[in-house]
Amino acid sequence: MKQLKNKHFVLGLTGGIACYKAAELCRALIKEGASVQVVMSEGATQFITPVTMQALSGRPVFVSQWDPREGNNMAHINLSREADAILIAPASAEFVAKLLHGRADDLLSLMCLARPIEQVPMIIAPAMNKEMWANPATQRNIEQLKADGAFVLDVAAGDQACGEVGDGRMLEPEQILEGLRAHFTAKVLNGRRLLITAGPTYEAIDPVRGITNLSSGKMGFAIARACWRAGADVTLISGLVALETPFGVKRISVTSGQQMYDETLARVDSSDVFVATAAVADWRVRTTVDQKIKKARDKSLPKLDLVENPDILKSVTMSTRAQSGKLYCVGFAAESENLEQLAIAKRQAKGVPLLVANLGPQTFGLDENSLLLVDESGTRQLGWASKDDLSLELVNEIASRISK
């Protein structure tokens, strides 16, 4: 999923300690296949040198409007016309105010004012002290910039250079990259509410043992990420996985199948699409014990009284919202053999319009997968690819089906 490949960014740095993050951001953009032209305010040069940014970007850095390297002395015009986007990171409170009022007293602000608004978007990553961020003047400025068409990223909370703690930190480079990927992704799910389950469930036997499976949750998390990039409001209900929550996604962590069932059914009526990627354990023990089960001296094996877990997907498809056509359901199936035959049967049994199947043992824990799409008209194979790329294809599939 290379939304940033071959994109050309003008990366603007304003005065603030978060300039140190801009160095890693520049490097990350280059790794994504983008090109970067750095423009710095005089204040930014007090925190990081143009030499550093030149080394990372591979291009001369511009600071002054009167830079003699531009033959026509119009750096503010030339630089903006070459860009796919202007990214201001960090954007200080002072520079945010400057942008709002259309001031143009240095190269960076002049370039932002002179950019072709319809062709060159401006993306802003604010960075400032928590009191500056919370100040009503700053909040008014931010809201007006959004109304004027700027794409303003959120801020992070945490320790600040001044020793205080709160909102106002610039997002980390990977979070800014995610915001950029979303900006350049078609909003085919704009305004839709997606509910996604992911990962394995764990059914406790005693305090140290349980029933689970090899699902890593990577496919479900990739789908959640792709849906958010496509403009959806995404809620992800996840079992026990070692994955970071995708940027912009609301996550609810659960352990057992019953917990996942309860959390899912509680949100069905406020969702437009349900994607069931979770590998829910089919059985749980009827009664867990409070202490670890010890080996018997006579070597007899403990007897586990198993009961079936509730069928989340079947319950959702039978809900009033799904039956009325207001909720589109997508099921997942992980098989170990006879993929097409079993997937067709499962789609019919679950009553879903679309079922996505794969051979679980071939993909558990990997970053790649191969998917089989099954609907009423037949099957279609999505070949071996990254789970991110497959998620984008699946998002487009879902979008095309719910728009009919």
Catalytic residues: 162
Residue 47 in tokens: 């925190």
Inter-CA distances, 108 with 12, 245, 252, 352, Å: 7, 34, 42, 53
End-to-end CA, the chain: 26
How far, in Å, CA of 49 to CA of 71, rounded? 24
Q: Tell the burial category of 145 from Cβ atoms under 10 Å away from its Cβ (0-12, 13-18, 19+).
A: buried
What is the residue-wise DSSP string for 333-371? EEESS-HHHHHHHHHHHHT-SEEEEEEHHHHTT-SEEEE
How far, in Å, CA of 33 to CA of 177, rounded? 12
How far, in Å, CA of 72 to CA of 75, rounded? 8
Runs of H (alpha helix) within 129-243: 130-134, 136-147, 173-183, 218-229
